[in-house]
Structure 1
């Protein structure tokens, strides 16, 4: 029976009721089990929370990159911006305001991805509308946002292989976390409260039984406490806890990360002394076996040993798994060793030449442009080579020197290599970089600023080549200088009061081109020099010099046999020559220069300023790739709208008077087919609205000129819209507009005389001068010239200042009748020729019986008419 139901006597119950006191049960004290004591408690700082938030958005962006989802990437990028703004206070406090490296890496990766997607125009065309708009927005926002981190991005791109801050943060636990671990390792001491004394109920048993009850009571109390603790820790028993195996794996991972970080960083001096070498970073795709070993610790370093090591490094060039970056590092180390041991400038020059060659090899695809940072290193190395050569007059760098005849120790120094080839390839890479950029972006402007460095470098190379090079090498160097000079306008060259000692671009071009004319052994350099010289003269309105040089060279006769780049230069020269002729008022010459370009309908392709949308099977992908490589940089383009406007205005000034003079001529020829087609298309329209485009302005002006309305014609050609689009782009725009007004008046006068001469018996020259607002002498000159050339059948009466028209020209009705008579006569002649050829029998021998007999028989009236004609002749003879 349970002790709870045991009862005593009445006296005992009374006594026990008096002695018993109500004791409040103490609050249960729980102790942690051994498993719970080993559980790790993680305390995260604000820095870790903010950084984990940033990493989450970066991870989302990388996932969107994999599937090329620009819309989601844009949304994640905006969230990343807001998260970084929230974390700015932590970054300012912990990192002194410097953005963490993992964040900069994410920005660089996103920028490269957006740039590559933007440059791939074919993929952009295939995108959906939403994805394309998201790409544009993402590109604009990213460019604007990354300006705040320009210095960090440049620093990151210099050495992108260093570990990020997040890896270091994960590898090295924080101080708070280490303190917590130390606290957890110590077993917590829990103070147990004393158990309440309980008076056992009196039993009939002996004292031993009472002692047993006391022990059983304590055991039950302890067991009840254990049950309470067990119930409290029941939830923790089913939770997942880090086991010792997990702890070991975590420790192994931390040690691996720490070792990897040590390999990337610098090795301690003690390790370098013990190992006799350095740690090296193993990169993906790099064959470390190809990397030659460095010098031994106790080796005697001299020029021969450095050259030997250079040969080992150069031997790895061109292999499939050669690490190009490691080669550059080795060459830099060799230059450092050579400088430390004072091995001479000749060896430094050879090492610089090898570095330049390695930088050219760094880009595996020749058709693609180099990275800007490597191009800058290339310029620096070539500049150092030029500096060494200019400082040592007894040093020669030539490709004709063999390895056996090289002299690197004693003067005169002879080094194998070619400075001119390095310069030419550097210049070509600069052009590729310009064509790789978006011409309407700030990046293109920043990249174009490097042309100053290239031009200065070419000038210095010319000094070296003039001292040590052959005449052919000097021609090549001069041509590179001409290529950077011929398309630039020099304001000093057009000044009339310039001092004779001032060296303008025209004088420089004269010097370089004359040397090439006299010393070039290949026709290509001379041809390009002549074309560049003509272009430069035309750019400065030296029309007669440019025209005479073109006619004397006879380039237009055999330019079709030249290479494509020379043909492109010829087209550019003819276009600029046409603009020069137009600015000087030579309309016919301008039209002749531009006709070949504009009548084809492909001036954009002929000038290498872009490709038109191809028709089916017009060109293959290989041909399109080759043509894209031939394109000119954007800053060298000629305005196509300006060319077309000049061509149409020139055609109008020539074609409209000609059409008025030969209005009724059936054999009239077209001078400009393009202009004639545009004019005919405009005349066929029932309703013609006000002109909007440049072409419509030219056609509307032509229709006004046909009526003799010179004011309307001038207003269509010279107005605010046309000034902004065309005329303000020319040098001396005011002079061009004045010239246009003068030419329009003169040609309108000629058109008026051709059209309405049959109406007048005489014309007053003074009235004509007032009508067209021209000087009377100029009107007299134009009318006299028309009479001399038999364009106008009239005579001048000087006392009355009138032109007496002879009215011998047919009227419109008479002209149409004459045309009809001519056409009928032509028809009769053609019929007679056919009749003489076939005779009078049309179905001879081929018709069935009974058919065609009337046609085969002689006509009955034929003999009668002959007899009547003979009788009439006899009567006339008798009379």
Structure 2
């Protein structure tokens, strides 16, 4: 039978079944038409469908990560969120609500990638506007979305090398597929019975024909085997093979595993070779094959040769396309060579000074902050310089030493440089680092911990400057020490039992400031020292010392001529001085200190604690950039809400009694314009609800005080909400609340007497004491003081303990009539002044000035009225 026929005839099949029993599967017929092709239908569960959808999106997201396409990554992440929302019922049913591990791995990898891209400031600044905006949105959305998976992500980070659920599922599915393929391959072997005799080789005898006919069954079976094998190979050609997606996923997994091993330090050279080797960072600038050698092989290295090489390296500073990182490496290598050859500590000091200068040059923009790692290296180098100077009494570092006069080999050693300038720039860079950080993040706290290092370094530099420096240099070093000390509260200053030899910050500030007062040649250092000294006294409630120091310095008269940073320090000092006066109960002084600052409406800018939004052309970009550089770090801010509350409460305690005493006075002046405007705005409202903000609480308390209701006034000022927002922020909060209660009672009593004195003929001091819950002696003192100052027309009767009121003041109707008379008189005078201006050009009857008889100009309105009456009488007689 021909092998090209897939099946035989019925007669042949019957003969074959009669002669031998062969289990044989029907051979399929393969065609190339899609209509006739037999396809196997695969039924997948909902879990597989949803998980495959998630895996496809994760794969796309990884591809976007490779090319750093943040816009596409953001779109893929949003699509991933929607896909997981669709898969949530399956996860809840199959996984008990626990997210699959491959999904958590994708979120973790995306979070690490976004965090790394965000922390790389240089690369982030180089991004396009769209990519930068997409990175910001992706970071915010990812942080918000991953909050629901914090537990799973933490568990994943503990053991990230465990296989994912999708890997196990893929392994099981691949094993199932391989089993199916093996079964398909084994089918032709099963079709051939093991007992069936093999076909003997053909013989050249007469029975060959009969044997051929008799062996038709075996021949057909062998031909079917060949056809089956051919069909299997043909089917394999048309089978769907592994796609590139699977290869990419496997490559991604392999790369992630290699990165983890690299982080753990367990990668092997074999793995690096298999994965194509390590990545090499290509530096910016000219490409060099090898690093140039420092010195020749057989050169005699001494101090002069090292100094010459240092001059060559330093000559490249500031040039275009200079690799600053390479300069730092060369200086480090040069310092190592000098140390190996024992060339002396003086040369090490000079190399350290050059390294410090190179570190300052590494940051190309002066306005931007230095990177934290380079700032740490800067601190280490300056600290080593101080260590070398303190360990050698015969070593001096100064700017006055020229390079020709340097002594690097023999004592006494002289090195050119300035340690104090390096310290000042280091301190400025530390302030920039703090301003670059988010004040509400952990990064700011970590950066703020470095202030201990800076303060310690300043103390050590002071030791060097006190030994070798001039008085002016000592003043500069002391001022840096004061800048880190004046705003800090020292709890030891409140203790009376100090240890012998223990120095509080108050004594330390006094010692440092007195030296600057005596030895400073410039007014700036002395002014800043005085302001810092006042601030520190006010911080510790030394009101009289701070006030006397401010009055003796006369800084209020010429501070407007100082530089902006000194003016900012002056504003901060006045704000803190006002808080100190308020804590001590001096309400008028507190209002006077805070009035100039708060009446402008811009305390935030005046204290350098932020910028207010301005109109389009009110502030240029350069001015805004300069003002941002002057901002204070967050830990030095003064609470603006506390300042405003203290100002409004002080204004209330002063303004309300004054308004009650001069209610019908048309020429009444305003003590606090801001408070008066807030009070008038509240009175114009048709419906006044319960207060919510701090300003509304102050206005509601003022209205209660005008009625004489001191309890309501105290409840508006001192309550749980105000305590948490304002009063608990003060030192000695309990004393402040007690002081407020006492002042509110006293001023409410004075307001009550001013408002309702005309109603009473006499007032009992005991009744007043019971009404306002005050001691009788204090009530007697307040009433006596009001009588002496002629604020209250009354007299005291000591036997009966009463205040006898005299009804000499007008009633309300009389006061209103007097007000009306004054206003009408003012109106008449203004009309007469207008008539005088018109009459200066024309006479009566239209005659111009200068023609005919000149009119006599009366000196006042009364004379003019008398003249008009006489003229009218003369006209009446003529008629």
Partner Cα distance (2:449, 2:865) in 1: 96
8 Å CA contact 2:655–2:671 kept in 1: the answer is: yes
Any idea what the Cα deviations from partners look like across 1:553-590, whole Å, max 9, x if unmatched? 11111111111111111110000000000011110110
In structure 2, the CA distance between the partners of 1:153 and 1:564, relative to structure 1 (3 Å rule), is farther
8 Å CA contact 1:796–1:802 kept in 2: the answer is: yes
Partner Cα distance (1:167, 1:790) in 2: 94
Partner Cα distance (1:823, 1:560) in 2: 41
In structure 2, the CA distance between the partners of 1:844 and 1:69, relative to structure 1 (3 Å rule), is farther
Shift of 1:602: 0.9
8 Å CA contact 2:543–2:580 kept in 1: the answer is: yes
8 Å CA contact 1:40–1:184 kept in 2: the answer is: no
In structure 2, the CA distance between the partners of 1:841 and 1:224, relative to structure 1 (3 Å rule), is closer
Partner Cα distance (2:131, 2:12) in 1: 94
Shift of 1:294: 2.1
Shift of 1:459: 0.6
In structure 2, the CA distance between the partners of 1:518 and 1:234, relative to structure 1 (3 Å rule), is same
Moved more, 440-449 or 79-88: 79-88
Moved more, 459-468 or 165-174: 165-174
Partner Cα distance (1:182, 1:323) in 2: 63
Any idea what the Cα deviations from partners look like across 1:433-452, whole Å, max 9, x if unmatched? 11111111111112111111
Q: Within 5 Å, which residues of 2 pair with 1:586-625?
A: 586-625=586-625
8 Å CA contact 2:59–2:249 kept in 1: the answer is: no
8 Å CA contact 1:36–1:236 kept in 2: the answer is: no
Partner Cα distance (1:411, 1:868) in 2: 106
Partner Cα distance (1:133, 1:360) in 2: 31
Partner Cα distance (1:202, 1:637) in 2: 108
Shift of 1:469: 1.1
8 Å CA contact 2:22–2:192 kept in 1: the answer is: no
8 Å CA contact 2:6–2:27 kept in 1: the answer is: no
Shift of 1:674: 0.6
Any idea what the Cα deviations from partners look like across 1:619-664, whole Å, max 9, x if unmatched? 1222222211111111111011100000000000000011011100
Moved more, 434-443 or 264-273: 264-273
Moved more, 117-126 or 289-298: 117-126
Any idea what the Cα deviations from partners look like across 1:198-243, whole Å, max 9, x if unmatched? 9999999999999999999999999999999877655678999999
Partner Cα distance (1:861, 1:201) in 2: 155
Partner Cα distance (2:852, 2:89) in 1: 112
In structure 2, the CA distance between the partners of 1:713 and 1:150, relative to structure 1 (3 Å rule), is closer
Q: Aligned pairs, how many?
A: 879
Q: Within 5 Å, which residues of 2 pair with 1:499-648?
A: 499=499, 501-648=501-648
In structure 2, the CA distance between the partners of 1:244 and 1:58, relative to structure 1 (3 Å rule), is closer
8 Å CA contact 2:829–2:861 kept in 1: the answer is: no
Partner Cα distance (1:789, 1:10) in 2: 139
8 Å CA contact 2:493–2:505 kept in 1: the answer is: yes
In structure 2, the CA distance between the partners of 1:279 and 1:365, relative to structure 1 (3 Å rule), is same
SS at match of 1:872: helix
Partner Cα distance (1:16, 1:154) in 2: 70
Shift of 1:738: 1.2
8 Å CA contact 1:727–1:737 kept in 2: the answer is: yes
In structure 2, the CA distance between the partners of 1:620 and 1:195, relative to structure 1 (3 Å rule), is farther
Partner Cα distance (1:489, 1:864) in 2: 71
SS at match of 2:190: coil
8 Å CA contact 2:91–2:99 kept in 1: the answer is: yes
In structure 2, the CA distance between the partners of 1:508 and 1:32, relative to structure 1 (3 Å rule), is farther
In structure 2, the CA distance between the partners of 1:525 and 1:781, relative to structure 1 (3 Å rule), is same
In structure 2, the CA distance between the partners of 1:127 and 1:64, relative to structure 1 (3 Å rule), is same
Moved more, 492-501 or 812-821: 492-501
2:498 aligned residue: 498
SS at match of 2:415: strand
8 Å CA contact 1:263–1:279 kept in 2: the answer is: no
Shift of 1:137: 9.6
Shift of 1:359: 1.7
8 Å CA contact 1:394–1:413 kept in 2: the answer is: yes
In structure 2, the CA distance between the partners of 1:113 and 1:561, relative to structure 1 (3 Å rule), is farther
Partner Cα distance (2:597, 2:353) in 1: 44
Shift of 1:836: 4.9
8 Å CA contact 1:41–1:180 kept in 2: the answer is: no
Moved more, 598-607 or 832-841: 832-841
1:799 aligned residue: 799
Any idea what the Cα deviations from partners look like across 1:378-418, whole Å, max 9, x if unmatched? 11111111111111111111122222112211111111221
In structure 2, the CA distance between the partners of 1:15 and 1:696, relative to structure 1 (3 Å rule), is closer
In structure 2, the CA distance between the partners of 1:775 and 1:134, relative to structure 1 (3 Å rule), is farther
Moved more, 426-435 or 352-361: 352-361
8 Å CA contact 1:287–1:323 kept in 2: the answer is: no
Shift of 1:719: 1.3
Shift of 1:799: 2.7
8 Å CA contact 2:258–2:267 kept in 1: the answer is: no
Shift of 1:308: 2.3
SS at match of 2:646: helix
Partner Cα distance (2:622, 2:5) in 1: 105
SS at match of 2:608: coil
8 Å CA contact 2:462–2:474 kept in 1: the answer is: yes
Shift of 1:615: 2.0
Moved more, 566-575 or 551-560: 551-560
In structure 2, the CA distance between the partners of 1:57 and 1:627, relative to structure 1 (3 Å rule), is farther
8 Å CA contact 1:578–1:591 kept in 2: the answer is: yes
Partner Cα distance (2:267, 2:497) in 1: 69
In structure 2, the CA distance between the partners of 1:660 and 1:843, relative to structure 1 (3 Å rule), is same
In structure 2, the CA distance between the partners of 1:101 and 1:305, relative to structure 1 (3 Å rule), is farther
In structure 2, the CA distance between the partners of 1:432 and 1:61, relative to structure 1 (3 Å rule), is farther
What's the TM-score once normalised by structure 2's chain length? 0.74
Moved more, 161-170 or 773-782: 161-170
Moved more, 174-183 or 498-507: 174-183
Moved more, 200-209 or 727-736: 200-209
8 Å CA contact 1:286–1:323 kept in 2: the answer is: no
SS at match of 1:52: helix
Moved more, 25-34 or 363-372: 25-34
Partner Cα distance (1:92, 1:560) in 2: 69
Partner Cα distance (2:501, 2:169) in 1: 67
8 Å CA contact 1:466–1:474 kept in 2: the answer is: yes
In structure 2, the CA distance between the partners of 1:315 and 1:211, relative to structure 1 (3 Å rule), is farther
Partner Cα distance (1:173, 1:407) in 2: 79
Partner Cα distance (1:861, 1:40) in 2: 118
Moved more, 466-475 or 235-244: 235-244
Shift of 1:535: 0.4
2:860 aligned residue: 860
Partner Cα distance (2:208, 2:616) in 1: 115
Any idea what the Cα deviations from partners look like across 1:507-529, whole Å, max 9, x if unmatched? 11111111111111111111111
In structure 2, the CA distance between the partners of 1:409 and 1:809, relative to structure 1 (3 Å rule), is same
Question: Structure 2 stretches of 5 or more lacking a match?
Answer: none
In structure 2, the CA distance between the partners of 1:875 and 1:154, relative to structure 1 (3 Å rule), is closer
Partner Cα distance (1:638, 1:72) in 2: 44
Partner Cα distance (1:17, 1:428) in 2: 102
